[in-house]
Structure 1
Amino acid sequence: MRHAARLLGVLALALLCLQLWFAGRILLMRWVAPQSTSFQRSEALRLLTEKHQLAWAQQWVDDAQLPATLKRAVISSEDDGFAQHGGVDWDALKGAWKKNEKAQARAEARGRTTAKVIGGSTITQQLAKNLFLSGERTLLRKGQELVITLMLEGLLDKRRILEIYLNSVEWGEGLFGAQAAARHYFHMDAARLGPFEAARLAVMLPAPKRFERQPGSPYVLGRAGIITGRMGGAQIP
């Protein structure tokens, strides 16, 4: 029993130290932009392993150079309650859970074991996962994501969270951040993105590697038109 109690104590201390490390890293992000994210490092390793080369594009731009059009488009497409919620949109998560249950039931009825998973993650949750975590879907990983999400919301303001997200999110294979995406797809700086260009980039975010093959596909253009119409009601921090 004593050995088990000691082991539990060590595990609890290790877990506490890990959370303090996360909190310290996030607090530093108030003033210092992250050089890379966990997802970016895993992608770099994958590209080097599979393709033996690293085609990479990323350039940090400050919040003042990130256009309101892009902020409104991404919020409208990815997380329309971003300015109001505390990091987690429980209603969106509940809705996604119900849709996934129905999709799984349909898949099983057709003889398939898995169905396409619909996400309900907020921008802050996506940033938490990209910054520090792996892409595996386990309860432990989701629990850690929730803790980091609350840390981000508690230690950074919404403006900074959105700034880091737009500078680090993936927009194609080896393509990260708004500036690199604007240059790659439209041959212009991010600051010059108009509403429709910004909406097209926002539409790509759920599956950038798929959409980069046809960034002007009917789906992307049609969805971008819908997002453009919603942008006027988006609240940006």
Structure 2
Amino acid sequence: MLKRWTLRIVIGFFAITIFWVIALRFVNPPITYLMIKRGFEWKAAGKGFKIEKKWLDYDDMSNNLKRAAIAGEDAHFMTHNGFDTKAIMEAFEKNKSGKPLRGGSTISQQTAKNVFLWPQRSWVRKGLETYFTFLIELFWSKKRILEVYLNVIEMGQGVYGAEAAAQYYFDKSARSLTKKEAALIIAILPNPRKWDARRPSRYVNSRANSIVRYMNHYTIPE
């Protein structure tokens, strides 16, 4: 009896998660766990419940933003299968040496985490992140992965996605971001609740300039 129920649970888990991933290939995620969590944190601080987001289709986004995302967050996005082993090993060595913590997550991994999971780190979450990363690489196109990433990622205090970020920081649509504006938005992603694309620190501005220099070296999904 126990084996039968265990088997049913395992089969049910795979059936539900695979259906979920396939569905979101065609349906835009309406909200994420992180958005809700941050909204309640904002409310608890006495600032009201804040979630600013507006979906913008991939083809409507500035190509500057797409290239900036790849240049700044995942240089091998177009060629890896969801996991950049070289970046992971570099991050491991840097963290082990005592230098400031650095992640090795790809755009695919960050998308899987943001859409399907929760932000707190644990081995369980990391295992599920690996699983969902494999699924979206299997069932979604690179274009869809980048589209979802740029629409759900946290880009400021209560600000999610490229369109809301462009409006918040530069009073314009993400359709018409310049190279530097796009690079500044991507440059703050390691800590979007602390850094501001409108008033970049020396580090953020330097990182944005580096992104601008390399943007045209990368192809984007068509």
TM-score w.r.t. the length of structure 1 is: 0.87
Equivalent position of 2:201 in the other structure: 217
Equivalent position of 1:30 in the other structure: 25
CA contact (8 A) 1:23 1:151 kept: yes
Residue by residue over 1:1-51, the C-alpha shift from the partner in whole angstroms, topping out at 9 and shown as x without a partner, is: xx8xx2x65445434423322221211122210101121122223223333
SS of alignment partner, residue 138 of structure 2: helix
CA contact (8 A) 1:39 1:132 kept: no
Residue by residue over 1:44-64, the C-alpha shift from the partner in whole angstroms, topping out at 9 and shown as x without a partner, is: 232233336112211001111
Following superposition of structure 1 onto structure 2, how do residues 6-21 of structure 1 map, counting pairs within 5 Å? Answer: 6=2, 10-21=5-16
Task: Give the helix-richer structure, 1 or 2.
Answer: 1
Residue by residue over 1:115-174, the C-alpha shift from the partner in whole angstroms, topping out at 9 and shown as x without a partner, is: x53210000100111112122222221111100000001111000110011011111111
SS of alignment partner, residue 34 of structure 2: helix
Q: Does 1:191 align with 2:186?
A: no
The alpha-carbon deviation at position 213 of structure 1 amounts to 8.3
Number of residue pairs aligned between Structure 1 and Structure 2 = 221
Q: Does 1:231 align with 2:221?
A: no
Q: Does 1:44 align with 2:39?
A: yes
Q: Whole-Å Cα distance in 2 between the matches of residues 119 and 138 of structure 1?
A: 14
CA contact (8 A) 2:60 2:175 kept: yes
SS of alignment partner, residue 52 of structure 2: coil
Equivalent position of 1:201 in the other structure: 185
Q: Whole-Å Cα distance in 1 between the matches of residues 134 and 33 of structure 2?
A: 18
Q: Whole-Å Cα distance in 1 between the matches of residues 213 and 6 of structure 2?
A: 51
Q: Whole-Å Cα distance in 2 between the matches of residues 99 and 12 of structure 1?
A: 42
Q: Whole-Å Cα distance in 1 between the matches of residues 47 and 195 of structure 2?
A: 24
Structure 1: gaps of 5 or more residues = 107-115
Q: In structure 2, do the counterparts of structure 1 residues 213 and 178 end up closer, same or farther at CA, with 3 Å as the change threshold? A: closer
Q: Whole-Å Cα distance in 2 between the matches of residues 12 and 51 of structure 1?
A: 47
Q: In structure 2, do the counterparts of structure 1 residues 125 and 172 end up closer, same or farther at CA, with 3 Å as the change threshold? A: same
Q: In structure 2, do the counterparts of structure 1 residues 208 and 15 end up closer, same or farther at CA, with 3 Å as the change threshold? A: farther
Which residue, 87, 99, 112 being the options, matches 1:92? 87
The alpha-carbon deviation at position 214 of structure 1 amounts to 6.6
SS of alignment partner, residue 54 of structure 1: coil
Q: Does 1:158 align with 2:142?
A: yes
SS of alignment partner, residue 48 of structure 2: coil
* Structure with greater Cα Rg: 1
CA contact (8 A) 2:112 2:133 kept: yes
Q: In structure 2, do the counterparts of structure 1 residues 78 and 184 end up closer, same or farther at CA, with 3 Å as the change threshold? A: same
Q: In structure 2, do the counterparts of structure 1 residues 52 and 230 end up closer, same or farther at CA, with 3 Å as the change threshold? A: closer
TM-score w.r.t. the length of structure 2 is: 0.92
Q: Whole-Å Cα distance in 2 between the matches of residues 13 and 202 of structure 1?
A: 43
Stretch moving more, 116-125 or 14-23: 14-23
Structure 2: gaps of 5 or more residues = none
Following superposition of structure 1 onto structure 2, how do residues 36-75 of structure 1 map, counting pairs within 5 Å? Answer: 36-51=31-46, 53-75=48-70
